[in-house]
Chains A and B, each alone.
Chain A
Amino acid sequence: MTAHDLNAIEVAALDKWYGSFHVLKSIDLTVATGERIVVCGPSGSGKSTLIRCINRLEEHQRGSISVNGIPLGDSVKNLDAIRREVGMVFQHFNLFPHLTVKENCALPQILSRGKQRREAEDMAMHFLGKVRIPEQADKYPGQLSGGQQQRVAIARALCMTPKIMLFDEPTSALDPEMVKEVLDTMVTLAEEGMTMIVVTHEMGFARKVADRVVFMEAGEVIEVNEPNAFFDAPSHDSTRRFLANIMH
Protein backbone atom coordinates (compact mmCIF):
# COMPACT_ATOMS: atom_id res chain seq x y z
CA MET A 1 0.00 0.00 0.00
CA THR A 2 1.14 3.52 -0.75
CA ALA A 3 0.60 6.46 1.52
CA HIS A 4 -2.25 7.61 -0.75
CA ASP A 5 -4.25 4.51 -0.02
CA LEU A 6 -4.09 5.42 3.63
CA ASN A 7 -4.70 9.13 3.56
CA ALA A 8 -7.98 10.51 2.29
CA ILE A 9 -7.00 14.13 2.72
CA GLU A 10 -3.63 15.78 3.09
CA VAL A 11 -3.54 19.46 3.87
CA ALA A 12 -0.04 20.93 4.19
CA ALA A 13 1.10 24.44 5.14
CA LEU A 14 -2.20 25.91 3.99
CA ASP A 15 -2.56 29.69 3.99
CA LYS A 16 -5.55 31.72 2.95
CA TRP A 17 -6.34 35.42 3.03
CA TYR A 18 -9.59 37.29 2.48
CA GLY A 19 -8.09 40.52 1.19
CA SER A 20 -5.59 41.36 3.92
CA PHE A 21 -7.32 39.23 6.55
CA HIS A 22 -5.35 36.06 7.27
CA VAL A 23 -8.10 33.41 7.69
CA LEU A 24 -6.05 30.25 7.63
CA LYS A 25 -2.53 30.22 9.00
CA SER A 26 -0.25 27.43 7.95
CA ILE A 27 -2.70 24.58 8.51
CA ASP A 28 -1.47 20.98 8.46
CA LEU A 29 -4.04 18.22 8.63
CA THR A 30 -3.95 14.63 7.47
CA VAL A 31 -7.09 12.52 7.47
CA ALA A 32 -6.80 8.78 7.02
CA THR A 33 -9.32 6.82 4.98
CA GLY A 34 -12.26 5.90 7.21
CA GLU A 35 -11.30 8.43 9.84
CA ARG A 36 -13.90 10.75 11.40
CA ILE A 37 -12.67 14.22 12.27
CA VAL A 38 -14.65 16.81 14.19
CA VAL A 39 -13.49 20.41 13.78
CA CYS A 40 -14.60 22.89 16.41
CA GLY A 41 -13.66 26.33 17.57
CA PRO A 42 -15.11 29.78 18.13
CA SER A 43 -16.95 31.42 15.24
CA GLY A 44 -14.61 33.13 12.80
CA SER A 45 -11.83 30.71 13.58
CA GLY A 46 -11.67 29.48 9.96
CA LYS A 47 -13.11 25.98 10.40
CA SER A 48 -15.72 26.32 7.65
CA THR A 49 -13.21 28.01 5.39
CA LEU A 50 -10.83 25.11 5.90
CA ILE A 51 -13.27 22.43 4.76
CA ARG A 52 -14.55 24.63 1.96
CA CYS A 53 -10.98 24.80 0.64
CA ILE A 54 -10.93 21.02 0.31
CA ASN A 55 -13.45 21.01 -2.57
CA ARG A 56 -12.45 24.46 -3.84
CA LEU A 57 -15.53 26.40 -2.79
CA GLU A 58 -12.79 28.67 -1.46
CA GLU A 59 -9.42 29.12 -3.10
CA HIS A 60 -6.29 28.99 -0.97
CA GLN A 61 -3.20 31.06 -1.68
CA ARG A 62 -0.38 28.96 -0.31
CA GLY A 63 0.26 25.37 0.65
CA SER A 64 -1.18 22.19 -0.81
CA ILE A 65 -4.25 20.01 -0.56
CA SER A 66 -4.64 16.54 -2.00
CA VAL A 67 -7.66 14.28 -1.86
CA ASN A 68 -7.18 10.53 -2.28
CA GLY A 69 -3.85 11.33 -3.89
CA ILE A 70 -5.27 13.88 -6.36
CA PRO A 71 -3.53 17.24 -5.94
CA LEU A 72 -5.86 20.24 -5.88
CA GLY A 73 -4.50 22.91 -8.18
CA ASP A 74 -5.47 24.87 -11.24
CA SER A 75 -6.25 21.70 -13.19
CA VAL A 76 -9.97 21.57 -13.92
CA LYS A 77 -9.69 17.83 -14.45
CA ASN A 78 -8.29 17.32 -10.95
CA LEU A 79 -10.93 19.58 -9.45
CA ASP A 80 -13.68 17.55 -11.12
CA ALA A 81 -12.07 14.36 -9.87
CA ILE A 82 -11.86 15.72 -6.33
CA ARG A 83 -15.47 16.84 -6.32
CA ARG A 84 -16.39 13.30 -7.37
CA GLU A 85 -14.64 11.96 -4.27
CA VAL A 86 -16.03 14.55 -1.88
CA GLY A 87 -19.65 15.13 -0.86
CA MET A 88 -20.71 18.18 1.11
CA VAL A 89 -23.56 19.07 3.45
CA PHE A 90 -24.21 22.74 4.18
CA GLN A 91 -25.45 24.63 7.21
CA HIS A 92 -28.46 25.95 5.28
CA PHE A 93 -29.05 22.68 3.36
CA ASN A 94 -28.91 24.48 -0.04
CA LEU A 95 -31.50 22.16 -1.54
CA PHE A 96 -32.84 23.26 -4.91
CA PRO A 97 -36.25 24.73 -4.02
CA HIS A 98 -37.72 24.42 -7.52
CA LEU A 99 -37.20 20.65 -7.63
CA THR A 100 -38.95 17.92 -5.67
CA VAL A 101 -36.99 15.96 -3.08
CA LYS A 102 -36.55 13.09 -5.52
CA GLU A 103 -35.42 15.42 -8.32
CA ASN A 104 -33.00 17.12 -5.94
CA CYS A 105 -31.28 13.76 -5.51
CA ALA A 106 -31.62 12.56 -9.11
CA LEU A 107 -30.85 15.63 -11.24
CA PRO A 108 -27.23 16.13 -10.06
CA GLN A 109 -26.44 12.52 -11.03
CA ILE A 110 -27.89 13.15 -14.49
CA LEU A 111 -26.12 16.48 -14.94
CA SER A 112 -22.69 15.59 -13.63
CA ARG A 113 -22.47 11.83 -14.29
CA GLY A 114 -24.65 11.56 -17.37
CA LYS A 115 -26.81 8.88 -15.76
CA GLN A 116 -30.14 7.79 -17.18
CA ARG A 117 -33.16 9.23 -15.37
CA ARG A 118 -34.46 5.81 -14.29
CA GLU A 119 -31.15 4.78 -12.78
CA ALA A 120 -30.72 8.16 -11.07
CA GLU A 121 -34.19 8.01 -9.55
CA ASP A 122 -33.63 4.47 -8.27
CA MET A 123 -30.44 5.68 -6.60
CA ALA A 124 -32.31 8.69 -5.18
CA MET A 125 -35.00 6.49 -3.66
CA HIS A 126 -32.38 4.14 -2.24
CA PHE A 127 -30.66 6.92 -0.31
CA LEU A 128 -33.89 8.66 0.65
CA GLY A 129 -34.81 5.31 2.22
CA LYS A 130 -31.50 5.30 4.00
CA VAL A 131 -32.10 8.70 5.58
CA ARG A 132 -35.63 7.46 6.38
CA ILE A 133 -37.78 9.87 4.35
CA PRO A 134 -38.70 8.03 1.15
CA GLU A 135 -42.34 9.03 1.70
CA GLN A 136 -41.43 12.70 1.14
CA ALA A 137 -39.93 12.06 -2.31
CA ASP A 138 -42.52 14.01 -4.26
CA LYS A 139 -42.69 17.03 -1.97
CA TYR A 140 -40.76 20.25 -2.45
CA PRO A 141 -38.02 21.20 0.03
CA GLY A 142 -40.09 24.16 1.27
CA GLN A 143 -42.73 21.72 2.46
CA LEU A 144 -40.36 19.84 4.78
CA SER A 145 -39.05 20.63 8.25
CA GLY A 146 -35.44 21.73 8.64
CA GLY A 147 -34.35 18.33 9.91
CA GLN A 148 -36.01 16.59 7.01
CA GLN A 149 -34.40 19.02 4.56
CA GLN A 150 -30.97 18.38 6.00
CA ARG A 151 -31.48 14.62 5.70
CA VAL A 152 -32.48 15.11 2.05
CA ALA A 153 -29.28 17.13 1.59
CA ILE A 154 -27.30 14.21 3.04
CA ALA A 155 -29.11 11.78 0.71
CA ARG A 156 -28.40 14.08 -2.25
CA ALA A 157 -24.70 14.10 -1.44
CA LEU A 158 -24.62 10.32 -0.95
CA CYS A 159 -26.26 9.77 -4.36
CA MET A 160 -23.00 10.91 -5.92
CA THR A 161 -21.27 7.99 -4.14
CA PRO A 162 -18.55 10.10 -2.50
CA LYS A 163 -15.71 8.52 -0.55
CA ILE A 164 -15.39 11.49 1.78
CA MET A 165 -18.15 13.61 3.32
CA LEU A 166 -17.69 17.17 4.54
CA PHE A 167 -20.28 18.56 6.97
CA ASP A 168 -20.31 22.33 7.44
CA GLU A 169 -22.22 22.98 10.69
CA PRO A 170 -25.03 20.67 9.59
CA THR A 171 -27.19 21.23 12.67
CA SER A 172 -26.54 24.91 13.42
CA ALA A 173 -29.55 26.16 11.46
CA LEU A 174 -31.95 23.61 12.95
CA ASP A 175 -34.50 23.94 15.70
CA PRO A 176 -33.27 22.02 18.76
CA GLU A 177 -35.79 19.18 18.41
CA MET A 178 -34.55 18.41 14.90
CA VAL A 179 -30.86 18.17 15.68
CA LYS A 180 -31.05 14.57 16.78
CA GLU A 181 -32.58 13.13 13.61
CA VAL A 182 -29.77 14.65 11.56
CA LEU A 183 -27.03 13.54 13.98
CA ASP A 184 -28.51 10.01 14.00
CA THR A 185 -28.20 9.90 10.23
CA MET A 186 -24.58 11.03 10.48
CA VAL A 187 -23.83 8.44 13.16
CA THR A 188 -25.18 5.71 10.88
CA LEU A 189 -22.96 6.99 8.10
CA ALA A 190 -19.94 7.00 10.39
CA GLU A 191 -20.66 3.44 11.49
CA GLU A 192 -20.58 2.36 7.85
CA GLY A 193 -16.99 3.59 7.60
CA MET A 194 -17.43 6.83 5.67
CA THR A 195 -14.50 9.22 5.90
CA MET A 196 -15.94 12.36 7.46
CA ILE A 197 -14.89 15.86 8.42
CA VAL A 198 -17.57 17.51 10.51
CA VAL A 199 -17.52 21.14 11.58
CA THR A 200 -19.89 21.21 14.55
CA HIS A 201 -20.44 22.33 18.10
CA GLU A 202 -22.30 19.13 18.97
CA MET A 203 -19.82 17.84 21.50
CA GLY A 204 -21.90 14.75 22.25
CA PHE A 205 -21.56 13.75 18.64
CA ALA A 206 -17.82 14.50 18.72
CA ARG A 207 -17.25 12.33 21.79
CA LYS A 208 -19.30 9.47 20.40
CA VAL A 209 -18.20 9.42 16.78
CA ALA A 210 -14.94 11.31 16.26
CA ASP A 211 -11.59 9.59 15.99
CA ARG A 212 -9.91 12.94 16.50
CA VAL A 213 -11.10 16.40 17.44
CA VAL A 214 -9.43 19.44 15.87
CA PHE A 215 -9.68 22.71 17.76
CA MET A 216 -9.13 25.90 15.78
CA GLU A 217 -8.81 29.49 16.86
CA ALA A 218 -8.03 32.61 14.84
CA GLY A 219 -7.11 30.62 11.73
CA GLU A 220 -4.75 28.23 13.48
CA VAL A 221 -5.03 24.63 14.56
CA ILE A 222 -4.45 24.86 18.32
CA GLU A 223 -4.98 21.30 19.39
CA VAL A 224 -5.64 17.90 17.82
CA ASN A 225 -6.51 15.03 20.08
CA GLU A 226 -8.63 11.94 20.44
CA PRO A 227 -12.01 12.88 21.96
CA ASN A 228 -11.66 11.62 25.51
CA ALA A 229 -8.33 13.36 26.01
CA PHE A 230 -9.62 16.44 24.26
CA PHE A 231 -12.66 16.83 26.48
CA ASP A 232 -11.29 15.54 29.76
CA ALA A 233 -7.79 16.93 29.66
CA PRO A 234 -7.42 19.71 27.10
CA SER A 235 -3.85 20.84 26.89
CA HIS A 236 -4.35 24.46 25.91
CA ASP A 237 -5.87 27.36 27.79
CA SER A 238 -7.91 28.51 24.82
CA THR A 239 -9.34 24.99 24.37
CA ARG A 240 -10.35 24.94 28.02
CA ARG A 241 -11.98 28.37 27.70
CA PHE A 242 -13.86 27.32 24.58
CA LEU A 243 -15.08 24.08 26.15
CA ALA A 244 -16.14 25.89 29.31
CA ASN A 245 -18.15 28.35 27.19
CA ILE A 246 -20.04 25.81 25.14
CA MET A 247 -20.65 23.30 27.95
CA HIS A 248 -22.22 26.04 30.11
Chain B
Amino acid sequence: MTVIDLAPTVAHIEPSAPPRPPRKPILQLFFGDVMASVLTVTTGFLLILMIPALNWAVLDAVWATDDPSTCRDRGACWAFIAAKFRFIIFGVYPPDEQWRPLLVMGLILAMALVSLSPRLWGQRLIAAWIASVAVMLTLMWGGVLGLTPVPTSSWGGLPVTLLLALLSLGLGLPFAVFLALGRRSSLPIPRMLSLMTIELVRGLPLVGLLFVASILLPLLLPAGWSIDKLGRTLAALTVFAAAYLAEVIRGGLQGVSAGQIEAAKALGIPGWKAVWHIVLPQALQKVIPPLTNTAIVMVKNTSLVLIVGVFDMLSAARVAATDPVWPAPYVESYVFVALIYFLICFGISNYSRWLEIRVQSRSYR
Protein backbone atom coordinates (compact mmCIF):
# COMPACT_ATOMS: atom_id res chain seq x y z
CA MET B 1 0.00 0.00 0.00
CA THR B 2 1.35 3.41 -0.88
CA VAL B 3 1.55 5.87 1.95
CA ILE B 4 0.96 9.41 0.83
CA ASP B 5 2.56 12.51 2.21
CA LEU B 6 2.82 15.88 0.59
CA ALA B 7 6.58 16.48 0.65
CA PRO B 8 7.84 17.13 -2.86
CA THR B 9 10.12 14.58 -4.43
CA VAL B 10 11.61 15.36 -7.78
CA ALA B 11 13.75 12.93 -9.71
CA HIS B 12 16.63 14.74 -11.34
CA ILE B 13 18.46 12.97 -14.12
CA GLU B 14 21.57 14.80 -15.19
CA PRO B 15 23.80 13.56 -18.00
CA SER B 16 27.47 13.19 -17.10
CA ALA B 17 30.40 12.68 -19.45
CA PRO B 18 31.67 9.09 -19.60
CA PRO B 19 35.44 8.52 -19.33
CA ARG B 20 37.17 8.39 -22.73
CA PRO B 21 38.19 4.92 -23.89
CA PRO B 22 42.01 4.62 -24.13
CA ARG B 23 43.37 5.06 -27.65
CA LYS B 24 44.48 1.87 -29.40
CA PRO B 25 48.02 1.61 -30.82
CA ILE B 26 48.05 2.09 -34.61
CA LEU B 27 49.39 -1.35 -35.40
CA GLN B 28 46.57 -2.97 -33.43
CA LEU B 29 44.07 -0.72 -35.19
CA PHE B 30 45.10 -2.02 -38.62
CA PHE B 31 46.09 -5.60 -37.81
CA GLY B 32 44.29 -6.21 -34.52
CA ASP B 33 42.41 -9.32 -35.72
CA VAL B 34 41.92 -11.34 -38.89
CA MET B 35 39.12 -9.13 -40.20
CA ALA B 36 41.11 -5.92 -39.70
CA SER B 37 44.19 -7.43 -41.38
CA VAL B 38 42.20 -8.62 -44.39
CA LEU B 39 40.57 -5.22 -44.77
CA THR B 40 43.90 -3.41 -44.44
CA VAL B 41 45.59 -5.55 -47.08
CA THR B 42 42.63 -5.36 -49.48
CA THR B 43 42.35 -1.60 -49.13
CA GLY B 44 46.10 -1.20 -49.65
CA PHE B 45 45.90 -3.30 -52.80
CA LEU B 46 42.99 -1.26 -54.15
CA LEU B 47 44.90 1.95 -53.45
CA ILE B 48 47.88 0.65 -55.42
CA LEU B 49 45.53 -0.23 -58.30
CA MET B 50 44.37 3.37 -58.32
CA ILE B 51 47.83 4.81 -58.98
CA PRO B 52 47.36 4.86 -62.79
CA ALA B 53 44.08 6.72 -62.32
CA LEU B 54 45.86 9.21 -60.10
CA ASN B 55 48.56 9.65 -62.73
CA TRP B 56 45.91 10.22 -65.35
CA ALA B 57 43.87 12.64 -63.28
CA VAL B 58 46.64 14.68 -61.68
CA LEU B 59 50.26 14.09 -62.64
CA ASP B 60 49.89 13.62 -66.42
CA ALA B 61 46.89 15.91 -66.80
CA VAL B 62 46.88 18.98 -68.99
CA TRP B 63 45.53 21.73 -66.76
CA ALA B 64 45.62 24.67 -69.13
CA THR B 65 46.31 25.09 -72.81
CA ASP B 66 45.16 27.24 -75.71
CA ASP B 67 45.79 24.51 -78.23
CA PRO B 68 43.25 21.68 -77.99
CA SER B 69 45.37 19.33 -80.08
CA THR B 70 48.09 19.12 -77.39
CA CYS B 71 45.51 17.93 -74.93
CA ARG B 72 45.41 14.23 -75.68
CA ASP B 73 48.95 13.09 -74.99
CA ARG B 74 48.78 11.09 -71.80
CA GLY B 75 46.59 12.43 -69.04
CA ALA B 76 43.27 14.06 -68.46
CA CYS B 77 42.34 17.17 -70.36
CA TRP B 78 41.16 19.53 -67.66
CA ALA B 79 41.88 22.44 -69.97
CA PHE B 80 38.72 21.37 -71.79
CA ILE B 81 36.62 21.82 -68.65
CA ALA B 82 38.12 25.27 -68.19
CA ALA B 83 37.25 26.18 -71.77
CA LYS B 84 33.73 24.73 -71.66
CA PHE B 85 32.92 25.59 -68.05
CA ARG B 86 30.38 28.25 -68.95
CA PHE B 87 28.67 26.01 -71.49
CA ILE B 88 28.35 23.04 -69.13
CA ILE B 89 27.01 25.22 -66.34
CA PHE B 90 24.65 27.43 -68.38
CA GLY B 91 23.99 25.42 -71.55
CA VAL B 92 22.68 27.41 -74.49
CA TYR B 93 21.30 30.26 -72.39
CA PRO B 94 22.23 33.49 -74.25
CA PRO B 95 25.75 34.37 -73.02
CA ASP B 96 24.95 38.05 -72.45
CA GLU B 97 22.10 37.07 -70.16
CA GLN B 98 23.91 34.39 -68.17
CA TRP B 99 24.05 36.62 -65.11
CA ARG B 100 20.37 35.76 -64.71
CA PRO B 101 20.77 31.98 -64.19
CA LEU B 102 23.82 32.78 -62.07
CA LEU B 103 21.63 34.95 -59.87
CA VAL B 104 19.04 32.16 -59.79
CA MET B 105 21.64 29.69 -58.51
CA GLY B 106 22.79 32.24 -55.95
CA LEU B 107 19.20 32.62 -54.80
CA ILE B 108 18.74 28.84 -54.53
CA LEU B 109 21.93 28.56 -52.49
CA ALA B 110 20.97 31.47 -50.23
CA MET B 111 17.47 30.09 -49.60
CA ALA B 112 18.86 26.61 -48.98
CA LEU B 113 21.29 28.00 -46.42
CA VAL B 114 18.56 30.00 -44.70
CA SER B 115 16.34 26.90 -44.57
CA LEU B 116 18.98 24.81 -42.82
CA SER B 117 17.98 25.98 -39.37
CA PRO B 118 14.83 24.21 -38.16
CA ARG B 119 14.20 27.26 -35.97
CA LEU B 120 13.11 29.20 -39.06
CA TRP B 121 10.80 26.49 -40.40
CA GLY B 122 7.27 27.75 -40.64
CA GLN B 123 4.72 29.48 -42.77
CA ARG B 124 7.01 32.47 -43.36
CA LEU B 125 9.77 30.29 -44.78
CA ILE B 126 7.29 28.56 -47.10
CA ALA B 127 6.08 31.97 -48.27
CA ALA B 128 9.70 33.08 -48.80
CA TRP B 129 10.36 29.98 -50.89
CA ILE B 130 7.28 30.55 -53.05
CA ALA B 131 8.28 34.19 -53.57
CA SER B 132 11.87 33.32 -54.42
CA VAL B 133 10.83 30.60 -56.87
CA ALA B 134 8.61 33.21 -58.56
CA VAL B 135 11.62 35.55 -58.76
CA MET B 136 13.78 32.70 -60.11
CA LEU B 137 11.32 31.84 -62.86
CA THR B 138 10.87 35.52 -63.76
CA LEU B 139 14.65 35.89 -64.03
CA MET B 140 14.93 32.81 -66.22
CA TRP B 141 12.00 33.69 -68.49
CA GLY B 142 12.42 37.42 -68.68
CA GLY B 143 9.96 39.40 -70.81
CA VAL B 144 9.19 41.76 -67.94
CA LEU B 145 11.11 44.62 -66.29
CA GLY B 146 13.19 45.08 -69.45
CA LEU B 147 14.60 41.54 -69.31
CA THR B 148 14.99 39.90 -72.73
CA PRO B 149 12.58 36.95 -73.00
CA VAL B 150 14.35 33.58 -73.03
CA PRO B 151 12.17 30.57 -74.00
CA THR B 152 12.54 27.44 -71.86
CA SER B 153 14.03 25.65 -74.88
CA SER B 154 17.12 27.84 -74.40
CA TRP B 155 17.41 27.13 -70.69
CA GLY B 156 20.12 24.71 -69.81
CA GLY B 157 22.84 23.36 -67.60
CA LEU B 158 23.03 23.43 -63.83
CA PRO B 159 20.15 25.91 -63.24
CA VAL B 160 17.78 23.51 -65.06
CA THR B 161 19.04 20.58 -63.01
CA LEU B 162 18.66 22.54 -59.77
CA LEU B 163 15.23 23.94 -60.66
CA LEU B 164 13.91 20.53 -61.72
CA ALA B 165 15.18 18.88 -58.52
CA LEU B 166 13.97 21.69 -56.28
CA LEU B 167 10.54 22.06 -57.84
CA SER B 168 9.83 18.35 -58.28
CA LEU B 169 10.63 17.74 -54.60
CA GLY B 170 9.01 20.95 -53.39
CA LEU B 171 5.78 20.37 -55.33
CA GLY B 172 5.92 16.61 -54.79
CA LEU B 173 6.06 16.82 -50.99
CA PRO B 174 2.61 18.39 -50.42
CA PHE B 175 1.10 15.93 -52.91
CA ALA B 176 2.89 13.12 -51.11
CA VAL B 177 1.45 14.22 -47.76
CA PHE B 178 -2.07 14.15 -49.23
CA LEU B 179 -1.49 10.77 -50.85
CA ALA B 180 -0.07 9.33 -47.62
CA LEU B 181 -2.94 10.69 -45.52
CA GLY B 182 -5.43 9.54 -48.16
CA ARG B 183 -3.98 6.07 -48.16
CA ARG B 184 -4.44 5.83 -44.40
CA SER B 185 -7.90 7.41 -44.50
CA SER B 186 -10.85 5.42 -43.22
CA LEU B 187 -12.94 6.72 -46.14
CA PRO B 188 -12.86 4.17 -48.97
CA ILE B 189 -12.80 6.54 -51.97
CA PRO B 190 -9.79 8.71 -50.97
CA ARG B 191 -8.01 5.53 -49.89
CA MET B 192 -8.58 3.79 -53.22
CA LEU B 193 -7.64 6.89 -55.24
CA SER B 194 -4.40 7.37 -53.31
CA LEU B 195 -3.52 3.71 -53.51
CA MET B 196 -4.14 3.60 -57.27
CA THR B 197 -2.12 6.75 -57.93
CA ILE B 198 0.82 5.54 -55.86
CA GLU B 199 0.86 2.04 -57.32
CA LEU B 200 0.39 3.25 -60.89
CA VAL B 201 3.23 5.77 -60.73
CA ARG B 202 5.54 3.44 -58.83
CA GLY B 203 4.84 0.70 -61.33
CA LEU B 204 6.13 2.80 -64.24
CA PRO B 205 9.79 3.50 -64.92
CA LEU B 206 10.65 7.20 -64.77
CA VAL B 207 11.86 7.06 -68.38
CA GLY B 208 8.41 5.83 -69.44
CA LEU B 209 6.74 8.56 -67.43
CA LEU B 210 8.95 11.19 -69.08
CA PHE B 211 8.07 9.87 -72.53
CA VAL B 212 4.37 9.95 -71.68
CA ALA B 213 4.72 13.53 -70.47
CA SER B 214 6.81 14.79 -73.37
CA ILE B 215 5.36 12.88 -76.32
CA LEU B 216 1.99 11.38 -75.46
CA LEU B 217 0.55 14.27 -73.46
CA PRO B 218 0.72 16.85 -76.31
CA LEU B 219 -1.12 14.36 -78.57
CA LEU B 220 -3.85 13.79 -76.02
CA LEU B 221 -4.46 17.47 -75.31
CA PRO B 222 -7.09 19.23 -77.43
CA ALA B 223 -5.79 21.15 -80.45
CA GLY B 224 -4.45 24.58 -79.66
CA TRP B 225 -3.46 23.58 -76.13
CA SER B 226 0.16 23.34 -75.42
CA ILE B 227 2.15 23.01 -72.27
CA ASP B 228 5.80 23.87 -72.31
CA LYS B 229 8.09 20.84 -72.64
CA LEU B 230 10.08 21.74 -69.56
CA GLY B 231 6.80 22.11 -67.65
CA ARG B 232 5.63 18.66 -68.81
CA THR B 233 8.93 17.15 -67.77
CA LEU B 234 8.65 18.82 -64.38
CA ALA B 235 5.13 17.44 -64.01
CA ALA B 236 6.37 13.90 -64.66
CA LEU B 237 9.20 14.28 -62.14
CA THR B 238 6.83 15.76 -59.57
CA VAL B 239 4.33 12.92 -59.87
CA PHE B 240 7.16 10.42 -59.61
CA ALA B 241 8.65 12.09 -56.54
CA ALA B 242 5.21 12.37 -54.92
CA ALA B 243 4.50 8.64 -55.22
CA TYR B 244 7.80 7.66 -53.63
CA LEU B 245 7.67 10.34 -50.93
CA ALA B 246 4.09 9.30 -50.13
CA GLU B 247 5.18 5.79 -49.24
CA VAL B 248 8.02 7.13 -47.10
CA ILE B 249 5.67 9.46 -45.26
CA ARG B 250 3.12 6.69 -44.80
CA GLY B 251 5.80 4.73 -42.99
CA GLY B 252 6.31 7.71 -40.69
CA LEU B 253 2.58 8.08 -40.07
CA GLN B 254 2.35 4.45 -39.01
CA GLY B 255 5.10 5.09 -36.47
CA VAL B 256 3.09 7.75 -34.64
CA SER B 257 1.29 6.05 -31.77
CA ALA B 258 -2.48 6.08 -31.46
CA GLY B 259 -1.99 7.69 -28.04
CA GLN B 260 -0.86 10.91 -29.72
CA ILE B 261 -4.14 11.23 -31.59
CA GLU B 262 -6.11 10.28 -28.47
CA ALA B 263 -4.33 12.98 -26.47
CA ALA B 264 -5.09 15.53 -29.19
CA LYS B 265 -8.76 14.46 -29.20
CA ALA B 266 -9.03 14.59 -25.43
CA LEU B 267 -7.58 18.12 -25.54
CA GLY B 268 -10.25 19.09 -28.07
CA ILE B 269 -7.80 19.80 -30.91
CA PRO B 270 -9.74 19.70 -34.19
CA GLY B 271 -8.84 16.75 -36.44
CA TRP B 272 -6.97 18.44 -39.27
CA LYS B 273 -5.05 20.71 -36.86
CA ALA B 274 -4.00 17.62 -34.93
CA VAL B 275 -2.75 16.03 -38.13
CA TRP B 276 -0.85 19.16 -39.14
CA HIS B 277 0.68 20.12 -35.78
CA ILE B 278 0.91 16.84 -33.89
CA VAL B 279 1.01 13.85 -36.25
CA LEU B 280 2.82 15.11 -39.38
CA PRO B 281 5.84 16.71 -37.67
CA GLN B 282 6.47 13.49 -35.73
CA ALA B 283 5.94 11.34 -38.82
CA LEU B 284 8.41 13.41 -40.85
CA GLN B 285 11.00 13.35 -38.04
CA LYS B 286 10.83 9.58 -37.99
CA VAL B 287 11.58 9.25 -41.70
CA ILE B 288 14.43 11.71 -42.18
CA PRO B 289 16.83 9.01 -43.53
CA PRO B 290 14.47 7.60 -46.21
CA LEU B 291 13.28 11.12 -47.11
CA THR B 292 16.90 12.10 -47.69
CA ASN B 293 17.38 8.99 -49.74
CA THR B 294 14.44 9.90 -51.98
CA ALA B 295 15.65 13.51 -52.27
CA ILE B 296 19.11 12.36 -53.39
CA VAL B 297 17.63 9.90 -55.87
CA MET B 298 15.43 12.66 -57.29
CA VAL B 299 18.37 15.06 -57.71
CA LYS B 300 20.10 12.44 -59.83
CA ASN B 301 16.88 11.38 -61.60
CA THR B 302 16.65 14.83 -63.13
CA SER B 303 19.52 13.78 -65.41
CA LEU B 304 17.10 11.40 -67.17
CA VAL B 305 15.32 14.36 -68.78
CA LEU B 306 18.16 14.26 -71.30
CA ILE B 307 16.35 11.49 -73.18
CA VAL B 308 13.35 13.70 -73.93
CA GLY B 309 15.58 16.54 -75.04
CA VAL B 310 15.58 18.80 -72.01
CA PHE B 311 18.96 20.47 -71.76
CA ASP B 312 20.09 19.80 -68.19
CA MET B 313 23.66 19.79 -66.92
CA LEU B 314 24.40 16.25 -68.11
CA SER B 315 23.11 17.05 -71.63
CA ALA B 316 25.21 20.19 -71.68
CA ALA B 317 28.33 18.23 -70.73
CA ARG B 318 27.61 15.63 -73.43
CA VAL B 319 27.11 18.27 -76.10
CA ALA B 320 30.24 20.13 -74.98
CA ALA B 321 32.33 16.98 -75.43
CA THR B 322 31.20 16.59 -79.06
CA ASP B 323 33.03 19.80 -80.07
CA PRO B 324 35.23 18.61 -82.99
CA VAL B 325 38.01 21.02 -82.00
CA TRP B 326 38.69 19.00 -78.84
CA PRO B 327 39.74 15.33 -78.88
CA ALA B 328 36.49 13.92 -77.46
CA PRO B 329 37.06 14.47 -73.73
CA TYR B 330 33.93 12.57 -72.62
CA VAL B 331 35.48 11.12 -69.50
CA GLU B 332 36.58 14.52 -68.23
CA SER B 333 33.10 15.96 -68.87
CA TYR B 334 31.38 13.17 -67.01
CA VAL B 335 33.85 13.28 -64.13
CA PHE B 336 33.26 17.00 -63.80
CA VAL B 337 29.47 16.63 -63.84
CA ALA B 338 29.68 13.68 -61.45
CA LEU B 339 31.67 15.86 -59.06
CA ILE B 340 28.93 18.50 -59.04
CA TYR B 341 26.21 15.86 -58.44
CA PHE B 342 28.33 14.38 -55.68
CA LEU B 343 28.78 17.74 -53.95
CA ILE B 344 25.03 18.38 -53.98
CA CYS B 345 24.09 14.89 -52.76
CA PHE B 346 26.87 14.76 -50.16
CA GLY B 347 25.66 18.11 -48.82
CA ILE B 348 22.08 16.83 -48.52
CA SER B 349 23.30 13.65 -46.87
CA ASN B 350 25.40 15.44 -44.25
CA TYR B 351 22.64 17.88 -43.48
CA SER B 352 20.15 15.07 -42.90
CA ARG B 353 22.56 13.33 -40.54
CA TRP B 354 22.87 16.54 -38.56
CA LEU B 355 19.05 16.81 -38.41
CA GLU B 356 18.75 13.23 -37.21
CA ILE B 357 21.24 13.77 -34.40
CA ARG B 358 19.39 16.92 -33.42
CA VAL B 359 16.11 14.98 -33.12
CA GLN B 360 17.78 12.21 -31.13
CA SER B 361 19.37 14.67 -28.71
CA ARG B 362 15.89 15.53 -27.48
CA SER B 363 15.75 12.29 -25.52
CA TYR B 364 18.99 11.47 -23.79
CA ARG B 365 17.51 9.84 -20.72
Contacts and interface: CB of A to CB of B under 8 A. Distances in A.
Given A97-B362, A98-B285, A181 B10 contact: yes
Interface in B1-58: 1-11, 13
Q: Of A86, A98, A108, which is in contact with the most chain B CB atoms at under 10 Å from its CB?
A: A98
Given A156-B267, A187-B6, A143 B363 contact: yes
Interface string A142-186: 111101100000001100100000000000000001111101100
Interface stretch (B89-97, B167-175, B276-284): B276-284
Given A80-B268, A147-B11, A148-B11, A205 B2 contact: yes
Interface residues of B, number: 35
B4 A94 contact: no
A194 B269 CA distance: 22
A80 B266 CA distance: 10
Interface string B72-83: 000000000000
Contact of B270 (A94, A112, A133, A148): A112
B259 interface: yes
Interface string B309-353: 000000000000000000000000000000000000000000000
B1 A111 contact: no
Interface in A194-248: 202-205, 208, 247
Given A97-B362, A143-B362, A180-B9, A204 B266 contact: no
Classify the secondary structure of A's interface with B.
helix
Interface in B242-282: 257, 259-260, 262-270, 273-274, 277-278, 281-282
A111 B4 contact: no
Nearest to A89: B266
A88 B266 contact: yes
Contacts of A202: 2
A96 interface: yes
23 contacts: A57-B265, A83-B267, A90-B262, A94-B259, A94-B262, A96-B263, A97-B363, A98-B281, A107-B277, A111-B277, A113-B268, A132-B10, A140-B362, A142-B364, A144-B13, A147-B11, A148-B10, A148-B11, A160-B268, A177-B9, A181-B8, A187-B4, A188-B6
Interface of B: 1-11, 13, 257, 259-260, 262-270, 273-274, 277-278, 281-282, 285, 362-365
Interface of A: 55-57, 80, 83-84, 86-88, 90, 92, 94-98, 107-108, 111-113, 132-133, 140-145, 147-148, 156-157, 160, 177-181, 183-184, 187-188, 202-205, 208, 247
